[in-house]
Amino acid sequence: MSVLVVGSLALDTIETPFGSVKDTVGGSATYISAAASYFFSPVRIVGIVGGDFPREGVAFLEERNIDLEGLEIIEKGKTFHWAGRYRYDLNERDTLSTDLNVFEKFDPKIPERHRKSRFVVLGNIDPVLQQRVLRQMDNPRVVICDTMNYWIERKNKELLETLKQINVLILNDSEARLLSREPNLIKAGKVIRAMGPSVVIIKKGEHGALLLTESVIFSAPAYPMENIFDPTGAGDTFAGGFAGWLARTDDLSEENLKRAVIYGSTLASFCVEKFGVEGLRGLTYLQIQDRFRQFRELSRFDED
Ligand code: AMP
Query: Residue 137: CB within 6 Å of ligand 1?
Result: no
Nearest residue (by CA) to ligand 1, atom 14, is 27
Query: Residue 124: CB within 6 Å of ligand 1?
Result: yes
Query: Residue 27: CB within 6 Å of ligand 1?
Result: yes
How many whole angstroms from 297 Cα to the centroid of ligand 1?
32
Query: What is the pLDDT at residue 1?
Result: 75
Cα–Cα distance measured from residue 40 to residue 21, given in angstroms and rounded to the nearest whole number: 30
Query: Residue 272: CB within 6 Å of ligand 1?
Result: no
How many whole angstroms from 28 Cα to the centroid of ligand 1?
5
Nearest residue (by CA) to ligand 1, atom 20, is 125
Query: What is the pLDDT at residue 298?
Result: 86
Cis peptide before 42 (omega within 30 of 0): yes
Query: Residue 130: CB within 6 Å of ligand 1?
Result: no
pLDDT digits (tens, 9 = 90+) for 49-89: 999 999 999 999 999 999 999 999 999 999 999 999 999 88
Query: What is the pLDDT at residue 301?
Result: 86
Query: Residue 146: CB within 6 Å of ligand 1?
Result: no
Query: Residue 35: CB within 6 Å of ligand 1?
Result: no
Query: Residue 47: CB within 6 Å of ligand 1?
Result: no
Nearest residue (by CA) to ligand 1, atom 1, is 233
How many whole angstroms from 219 Cα to the centroid of ligand 1?
25
Query: What is the pLDDT at residue 18?
Result: 87
Cα–Cα distance measured from residue 174 to residue 121, given in angstroms and rounded to the nearest whole number: 21
- Point out the residues of the chain with pLDDT beneath 50: none
Query: What is the pLDDT at residue 160?
Result: 98
Query: Residue 168: CB within 6 Å of ligand 1?
Result: no
How many whole angstroms from 29 Cα to the centroid of ligand 1?
9
Query: What is the pLDDT at residue 226?
Result: 85
